[in-house]
Amino acid sequence: MKKAAVKQTPALPHVDDGKIDFDTIEAFFFAYRDFVSDPDVILSKLDYGRAHHRVVYFVCRQPGMTVADLLETLQITKQSLARVLKQLIDDGYIRQMAGPEDRRQRRLYPTLTGRELALALSDPQSRRIDRALEAMQPEARACVREFLARMRDPATDGPVIEAKE
């Protein structure tokens, strides 16, 4: 019997666990779990995953966006996007057209069915957000949106950890 190779663990920084806000982290985990659960039910019936949801969502929000724009928005590789985008195009949710000035440029548009799918996926999420915000004053709602905006990395919209050598 062959022994499994032991994975080399990267050097991890020392962290003072007293400075970690475990309650808020747990709140995020559970909020995210429930936020994606409603669309997941719809997606599973189509044999789609969350990547499909993100693509349909952003193409519907920005019709005519280029494939390059979508790659930048999602922060994924061409290879990761290719399979998902092909399925959505083949299934009639998104159409791809050459750019008007540059025929090599690929612009993405939702079909009517794609728009309906995006709305069906977003509706339960929107209702969940409305329910969570309904008892809050406008100032508190603004704080929630500001907090979420501040969670994003302004430089890259990427991770906030630094690689240690």
Q: How far is CA 130 from the centre of its chain?
A: 20
* DSSP label of 137: -
Domain membership of residue 86 (yes or no) is yes
Q: What is the pLDDT, as a whole number, of residue 1?
A: 64
* DSSP label of 48: -
CATH classification of the domain holding 68? 1.10.10.10
Domain membership of residue 156 (yes or no) is no
**Domain hosting residue 118, numbered range:** 36-125
Domain membership of residue 84 (yes or no) is yes
Domain membership of residue 131 (yes or no) is no
116 vs 128: CA distance, rounded Å: 19
Number of domains in the chain: 1
pLDDT tens digits for range 28-76: 999 999 999 999 999 999 999 999 999 999 999 999 999 999 999 999 9
Domain membership of residue 163 (yes or no) is no
DSSP string, 75-104: T--HHHHHHHHHHHHHTTSEEEEE-SS-TT
Domain membership of residue 22 (yes or no) is no
- Whose CA is closest to 88, among 61, 60, 68? 60
